[in-house]
Amino acid sequence: MRYAFRLSQPDGGERIVLATDRRLGDRDGSWAPASGVASDYDFSIIELRLNAKHEGDGKASVTGKVTVDSAANTIALQDYAALPVTLREVKPRSAN
C-alpha cells in the first residue's frame, strides 16, 4: 500500500481511496476484467464507498481511469458510477 485517504461524507458514509505500487493481479493475472478493456497502469487505485451503516462496494482502476479530485485533494477513479463493482459487500472488520 502506497497511499490511503479517508473522507467522511455528508450522509454519514465514508469514501476511502487506496493506491498500490503494483497492478492488481500483476503476479498471476487473477484480476483480469470480466468484461471491458483492462487499463495499462502499473499501479492500482481502489475506491471504496461506504454508507452510514459502513456497508458498501469498491471499484478499482482495473478497467477505469485515474483522475485528480481537486475538491477532496486526492486521487480518484474517473466516472466512478459507471465502473463495474470490483469488491462487493465491503464493511469494516469488527474489533474483537
Tens of pLDDT, residue by residue over 11-63, are 999 999 999 998 887 777 666 666 667 788 889 999 999 999 999 999 999 88
Does the residue 92 lie in any domain?
no
Q: Which residue range forms the structural domain that includes residue 34?
A: 3-87
Structural domains counted in the chain:
1
Does the residue 64 lie in any domain?
yes
pLDDT at position 8, please? Answer: 96
pLDDT at position 96, please? Answer: 53
Q: How many CA atoms lie within 13 A of 34 on its CB side?
A: 5
Tens of pLDDT, residue by residue over 54-87, are 999 999 998 889 999 999 999 999 999 999 998 9
Cα(80)–Cα(92) distance, integer angstroms: 21
What pTM, to 2 d.p., does this model score? 0.86
Does the residue 95 lie in any domain?
no
The per-residue DSSP string of the chain comes to: --EEEEEE-TTS-EEEEEEESS-TTTTT-TT--SSSPPP--SSEEEEEEE-TTS-EEEEETTTS-EEEETTTTEEEETTGGGSPPSEEEE-PPP--
